[in-house]
Structures are given as structure tokens and as C-alpha cells.
Chain A
Amino acid sequence: MFRSAGVRFAVVYALLLAASAAALALFLWWSTAGLLDRQTETAIRADAQGLSERWEEGGLPALVLTIDERLSGNVDDDAVYLLTNARMQRVAGNLAGWPSIVREPDTWYELPVQRAGILSLALVWRYDLPGGYHLLIGRDVQVRAQLRRLLTDALLWALVIVAAMAVAGALIVRSLLRRTLANVSTTANAIAAGDFAQRVKLSGRGDEFDQLAEVINDMLDRIGRLMDGVKQVSNAIAHDLRTPITRARARLEEASLRASSPEALRAAIDRATADLDGIVAVFQALMRISEIEAGSRRSAFATLDLAPPLADLAELYGAVAEEKGVTLSADIPERLPAHGDRELIQQAVANLLDNAVKFSPPGGTVRLQARPAAAGVEVLVADQGAGIPPEDLKRATERFFRGESARSTPGAGLGLALVQAVAQLHGGTLRLEDAAPGLAATLSLPAPEEPAHG
């Protein structure tokens, strides 16, 4: 039962309500009944002060006179006095006899008294005077006692009402919480049951629950994309790797059946080994893309100057281009601050350059252009090759997609998919455009957001 957060919240609510009601009642008590008590006590003390002064001035006669005066001048008719001699016999005052329970001096007593034939309640204080006289000063508190009883009753009732309200409120809190969470758990259940298209509904109020729902939906979207990626990879393994595996297998079987000499057999095995190496390379490229897409590499992000690594790449591929009779013209600024994973950015640009050099006609030019952009860094790689037909541009970054013109060149169709994955990991984009002639690929890497949320 207490495992339920709804019940827990409800109990907390009820306890809070009870605690605040109790605090309120205590304060109310203190400021009404308590105040009256304190006022009465103050009045009695003041009275005592006056009477003791009279005693000192005029002794017993003055005291008796003063008590009589005070009794006759008491408009509210609430004063209680009793002066007795050493044998506890009444000398003055409006009480018939000394109440037996008042034994100790300097103590408050609240006791029933008989005054002018009426039974009433009084608060009294005993003073022992020199000469064996005893003085009792008090106030009738019958009215105050009634008020206190009234107040006690009211507070007791209030307690019952508060308890009822606490229970009702707790139930409401619990059902509110349940209803809000039901939205999330229905969605989660639907997804668990296989309907991945479900999303948590937003109330549109933009409150904390909406924010939570948005976070959950974002997470679901991301999981969905990852699952698509996994599906794509397994499809790719199922279909696209079949071709090279078939080739390797055929070579081995052919060699086993028909090789006429040990040399021919060895050559066939070497070729099959090379085929297998190619398959492994494709495998590794696929794994690398998945690794990047999973986002685990974000831990390697750092602020870096992209100029030196890009210059390195220009030098690395410049030689390759030259070998093919292609010119690689690099335009890289002195400094190019960026934020990301150096190795991944390098690999992405390497893939773009590799493609560009591969698809360039002899005598053509490959441009590598890097510049700081409004929102980060832009790296452009453009060639003057056949380019990608507009209808294929969208699909060019899919795994294993190879355009018509690319069929005759070696490659597995994973290069641009990796660039795309790197761009996405950095929160950037890969833009492919027709450079007329050729292909212009722009890798945009945004500057990191200011860490606003600590």
C-alpha cells in the first residue's frame, strides 16, 4: 500500500494539513483563552500589589477598609477577596470561608467558590501576611471558563473537519497523480505491447507534466531512430553482405572443384581472403556508423582547432589526387575553432575527400574549403565529377546506397552514411548539392550551445 506514490503523496498532504491546522488552533488558543488567563493573572497581581501597600501603610484596619472599598466599587462583580486570621476565621472579604484546597502560598488555584449564594469558578492566589493573617485574592472566571469550553469544543470539531478534509484532499491528490501518470503508463504499456508509434499526450498547459511528457517523447523518438538504424544494419547484413560473401564462397568452391595447379589454388584462396577482408571492412564501417549513431562517442568531444587536422587531410589526399591528375585546392583559415571529436570529423572529411578524388575526372579540381560560419564551422568538399542525380540526392546518405554512376567504382556505399552520422552526432548537417558539374558536400558543425543549464 505504501509502495504507491499516490498514497504517499496523499498521506503527506493529510499530515501537512493536520499539522498546519494544529498550529493554527494552538495559536488561536494562545491568543484568546490564554490571553484572558494572562489578563486575569495580571489583574490579581496588581490587586495584590495595591493591597500589600495598604497593609504596610495602615496595617490591618487599612487593609480591611480597602478590601471593602474594592468590593463595593467592583462594577463587574468578579473580584474575590478573603482575609482571615491565624485560625482561618474570616476578617474581611466576600467568601464565607477559606477553601480547604488552598494550602500553599504563591500558587495559582482554580476552584469552585460560593459567592452570594451563587456557585461559580474562581482563580485565586494566597498570600501569607505577618501576624498569621492570610489573604486570598482572586477573580471570578466562570465566563472565561465557559468561553474556554466553547473554544475547546469548536477546536475539537475543527479537528474532525480537518481530518475529513485531509482524507478527502488526500484522495483527490492521489487520483490527480494517478490520472496524470495514467497518460504516461498507458503509452508505455502500448509501446511495451509493440505499438511503438504511441506517444505521451500533452495537456497543452506546458506544466511540469507536459515537460516530462516531452522529454519522454523525445527519448522515444531517439529510441525509434536507433531501432531503425539497427534494423537497417541487420537488413544490410542480410542483403548487401550476401553479394560479397557469395563471391568469396564461389571462388573457394570453384578453386576446390576446378583448380588445375597448386598455384591456381593459392591464387584463388588469396582472392577469397581479400574478399573476406573486404567484407570485414564493410562490417567495421557499419559498426563504426552504429557506434557513432548510438552517441557513445560524445565523451570524446573537446574544443579544438580544426585547421591543422584539415591541413593534414589536404596533404594526405593531395598526393592521391595528384597521382590521378586531379588538383586538390585547399582553402583553410589560419585558425578554425570548433567543438567535437577530432578523429570523427577527420574521418568524415576524409570520406568526402576520398569520394571527391575518386569521382573526379583527370584534370579536374577538388576543392576543400573550410570557414567559420554563423553557427559554427562549415567544411565544403566539391568535385567536378558526374555528381549525384537530383532524385538520388536524398538517398545518397543511406547505408549501401550506390548511385548508377558509382556502380563502376569500388566502394560499399557507406562513406556518406558515416559522414551523415558524424554530422548528426555533432548536431550538424551534411548538405549535398549539385555543383554543376560535380557534387558539393557541405558539412556544418554548429558551435556548442552555451552551457546554460549548469
Chain B
Amino acid sequence: MRILVVEDDKDVAGFVVRGLREAGHVVEHADNGRDGLFMAASESFDAVILDRMLPGGIDGLKILETLRGQKNSVPVLILSALAEVDERVKGLKAGGDDYLTKPFAFAELLARVEALARRGKTEGPVTKLVVEDLELDLLSRQVKRAGQKIDLQPREFRLLEYLMRHAGQVVTRTMLLEGVWDYHFDPQTNVIDVHVSRLRQKVDKPFPVPLIQTVRNAGYMLRAERA
């Protein structure tokens, strides 16, 4: 994927750019607002990682507003040290698709950016999600694996739905907390792990091939484990 990183801090930018390249993406970097806006507006990217406070007179929000004003709908992840709830709301209102506060773990950034970039590509509403032999019917709200019906609680259903929609991608605990529970705070104890492990009991335990994988230092991923 082609990703634009607009970030003025040399160390952070270098860290992000190297990490994204290592993950197999093509990365362009702008270290000020003017270049960032120019590149984002004139070239085509799958996602933009945007710092809010930038030198050069044009800050991140202005870039975002300009892009959205030009009907440019490239997915934008705002990466900012401004962590207050109001700031977050401001960023999302300006047209940001996701908001990550500094400091951050690279795994979190990568997972969110990949999720964003891929989200823009899904075509039309789906009624059925299928991963390997696991089927989730969004209309009848039924889950089957290898033709066998699995009973899930409503929340477990939504958790599985989220994992299946992001099949093959890393999904972090905070993404699950926000996407499945709509919580934007840190519940301290790792409640997510408990719920994922319960889901595993139902979806993976009775079957020979586990689908819900734990990704160390990052989160979870739904896919068949291949040797």
C-alpha cells in the first residue's frame, strides 16, 4: 500500500517510515505542512498518517480540511500529542478517520493504518462473512463452522464479526474496545483478553485448526495458521 507520513519530528518520522516499509508498504514522507498538503492533494495514497502540529504555517487539521474540501476521501489517521477528548473530537470532525495519541506503540499504528486503508476498499454492504470454514451470517445472525452451528452471545457475535471483517489483519485491544464496545477509555485490566479467550472456547476449541491468533505485543488476528 502507498502511505504518506506527514510528521516533522525526525526520530518519530524515521521510526514510522522504516516500520511501514518493513511491513511491505511504499512510504512517502513530508516533514512540513506545505509539502504534506501538496503531496496529499497531488498524488494518490491508500492512507495518510498526519501529525497535527506541523511547521510551515499549515497544521494537520488545515491539511485535512483542505483535502476534504476538495472531496479527497483518502483515509487519514491523525497522530497527535493532543490527547484531550475535545481535541480528538476536533480531529474527527475535521474529517479524520482515526485518532491515535502520542506516545504510541508501532504495532497499534500499523494495525490501525492497515485497517483504515483496507476499509476504503470494501465494496457494498456484505451480508455474509466467510473465513476458511467459519461463516457468519449478518442477516440471520448465525455462526457456523464446518457446517456446525455455534451459539454466541450478542457481544461475542459482534466481537467475531469485527475480527472477521478484519480477517488477515492485526486487530489491537484498543481497536476492539472502540469497535466492539464503543469504549474510548482504558479499562485497566485486560478485559479484552478474557472475552477473546471465551470466544476461542466456542469458535476454535472444538475444531482442529485455530483461527483466532494472538499476535505478540500487538493484539489478535483472525486467519488459519499456516506453517
- A and B bind: yes
Q: Is B83 an interface residue (CB 8 A)?
A: yes
Main secondary structure, interface of B, reads loop
Q: Provided the pairs A316-B191, A323-B194 are in contact, do residues A296 and B86 lie with their beta carbons within 8 angstroms? A: yes
Query: B187 near A319 (CB under 8 angstroms)?
Result: no
Most chain A CB within 10 A, of B181, B186, B189, B198, is at: B189
Could you give, for residues 275-305 of chain A, a 1 whenever the CB lies within 8 Å of some chain B CB and a 0 otherwise?
0110011001101100100001100100000
Query: A354 near B188 (CB under 8 angstroms)?
Result: yes
Q: Is A218 an interface residue (CB 8 A)?
A: no
Query: A316 near B195 (CB under 8 angstroms)?
Result: yes
Query: B33-80: which residues lie under 8 A (CB-CB) from chain A?
Result: none
| CA distance in complex: A296, B87 (Å) | 12
Q: Provided the pairs A277-B105, A280-B103, A319-B195 are in contact, do residues A351 and B188 lie with their beta carbons within 8 angstroms? A: yes
Query: A320 near B183 (CB under 8 angstroms)?
Result: no
User: How many A-B Cβ pairs are below 8 Å?
Assistant: 54
Number of interface residues of A (CB under 8 A): 30
Q: Is B155 an interface residue (CB 8 A)?
A: yes
Query: A343 near B83 (CB under 8 angstroms)?
Result: no
By beta carbon, the residue of chain A nearest B183 is A346
Q: Which residues of B contact A281 (CB under 8 A)?
A: 186
| CA distance in complex: A49, B27 (Å) | 113
What is the distance, in angstroms, from B220's C-beta to the closest C-beta of chain A?
Answer: 16
Which of the four size classes fits the interface of chain B? 20 to 34
Query: B188 near A415 (CB under 8 angstroms)?
Result: yes
Query: B195 near A284 (CB under 8 angstroms)?
Result: no
By beta carbon, the residue of chain A nearest B187 is A350
Query: A320 near B191 (CB under 8 angstroms)?
Result: yes
Q: Provided the pairs A277-B105, A323-B194 are in contact, do residues A291 and B85 lie with their beta carbons within 8 angstroms? A: yes
Could you give, for residues 80-99 of chain B, a 1 whenever the CB lies within 8 Å of some chain A CB and a 0 otherwise?
00011110000000000000
Q: Which residue of A280, A300, A320 contacts B189 across the interface (Cβ within 8 Å)?
A: A320
Query: B184 near A343 (CB under 8 angstroms)?
Result: yes
Q: Is B185 an interface residue (CB 8 A)?
A: yes
Query: B84 near A316 (CB under 8 angstroms)?
Result: no
What is the distance, in angstroms, from A280's C-beta to the closest C-beta of chain B?
Answer: 6
| CA distance in complex: A357, B189 (Å) | 10
Q: Which residue of B103, B185, B191 contacts A317 across the interface (Cβ within 8 Å)?
A: B191
Q: Provided the pairs A312-B181, A319-B195, A319-B198 are in contact, do residues A411 and B84 lie with their beta carbons within 8 angstroms? A: no
Q: Provided the pairs A287-B83, A296-B86 are in contact, do residues A350 and B185 lie with their beta carbons within 8 angstroms? A: yes
Query: A284 near B189 (CB under 8 angstroms)?
Result: no
Query: B181 near A343 (CB under 8 angstroms)?
Result: no
By beta carbon, the residue of chain B nearest A412 is B188
Q: Which residues of A contact B181 (CB under 8 A)?
A: 312, 316
Query: B159-174: which residues lie under 8 A (CB-CB) from chain A?
Result: none
Query: A338-388: which residues lie under 8 A (CB-CB) from chain B?
Result: 343, 346-347, 350-351, 354, 357-358
Beyond A320-B189, A354-B189, 13 additional contacts (C-beta under 8 Å) are A277-B105, A284-B101, A284-B186, A297-B85, A300-B85, A312-B155, A315-B153, A315-B155, A316-B195, A319-B191, A323-B197, A343-B185, A350-B185
Give chain B's interface residues, CB within 8 Å of chain A: 83-86, 101, 103, 105, 153, 155, 181, 183-189, 191, 194-195, 197-198, 217
A-B contact pairs, 12 of them (CB 8 A): A291-B84, A316-B195, A317-B191, A319-B191, A320-B191, A323-B197, A346-B185, A350-B183, A351-B188, A357-B189, A358-B189, A415-B188
